[in-house]
Amino acid sequence: MIKSMTGYASATKQNGEKSYSAEIKSLNSKTFDLSIKLPSGIKEDELVLRKELSSILVRGKITISVMIDPDSETQPVNIDHELAKKYFSELKKLAADVGSSDEDLLRISLQLPNVIKRIESEPDNQEWQMIKDVIHEATKIFDKYRREEGDSIKQDLKSSIQDILDHLKKIEEEEPNRLEEIRSRINGNLEKFLGEDEIDQNRFEQELLYFIEKMDFTEEKNRLRTHCDFFLKVMEEEEVNGKKLNFISQEMGREINTLGSKANSAIIQHLTVQMKDDLEKIKEQVLNVL
């Protein structure tokens, strides 16, 4: 099963007056790079959570953000009386200087920065459990998202592999014409420089066979087909490894490059260029496979 390395998910759980939310975002990465943003006071438990998540999330540049939204009406607050008095005094002086009314100055003072602060309570075991529960709920949604995206990637990869195999079939159909073109070209050059009567046909056939043997790409075709079949087989495995698919695509690229260098045919070279274009699409998609 193919899973996408990128993804997004969020989950929320309610516990009395508090709401716990978790958000997960993931980008491509060669390794497991996890950043967890937890509320203050529970950082010491991050290592435990990171260990649990590493086996679930596997790979990617992942950010998990946890937010606790308490009921503002019931959350205790602290008022900085001295700071509020200073704000009020300065505002009253300003109102007098500009000839304005000093009504509502107390309300305005209380709204200024750092006057009213909500008191953050230390999270207990129950709260820590709620945080873990909401994160694990988000990871379930996140895994589903990855699987759905993986299905889309899988179809694109299959399509590109089939295109390469179709081009390979066209190359095989073009081979007889390729060999005849090589024969005619060599014979025409010899007639031009030596004259038709001066050509030793036996020697010509020997040289032609030697040249054709050097230009033969039967092994490259067979290996490319084998790599394509193996790529499709790996995609059907229970746990698909994106790195493994990347290695196979690199081997496919080597065979396609060799086919192009040995082509000696404009039509076959054009087909190998199309195969390279398909392979680039495969490589781009494989980068997003978990």
Tell me the per-residue pLDDT of 157-180, one tens digit each, with 9 for 90 and over.
Answer: 999 999 999 999 999 998 878 777
Q: Single out the residue of 218, 231, 220, 219 nearest to residue 278, CA to CA.
A: 231
Angle at 42 between CA 145 and CA 128, to 5 degrees: 65
Full-model pTM: 0.70
**Do 32 and 54 contact (CB within 8 A), yes or no?**
yes
Tell me the per-residue pLDDT of 226-258, one tens digit each, with 9 for 90 and over.
Answer: 999 999 999 998 887 888 999 999 999 999 999
Domain ranges of the chain: 7-73+124-148, 77-118, 151-286
Helix (H, G, I), strand (E, B) or coil at 11: strand
SS (H, E, C) 13-77: EEECCEEEEEEEEEECCCCEEEEEECCCCCHHHHHHHHHHHHHHHCCEEEEEEEEEECCCCCCCE
Alpha helices in the chain (DSSP H): 46-57, 81-98, 105-111, 125-194, 201-215, 218-235, 242-262, 266-286
- What number of residues does the chain have? 290
- CATH of 7-73+124-148 given 1.10.1760, 3.30.310, 1.10.3470, 3.30.230: 3.30.230
Is pLDDT at 73 greater than 50 in this prediction?
no
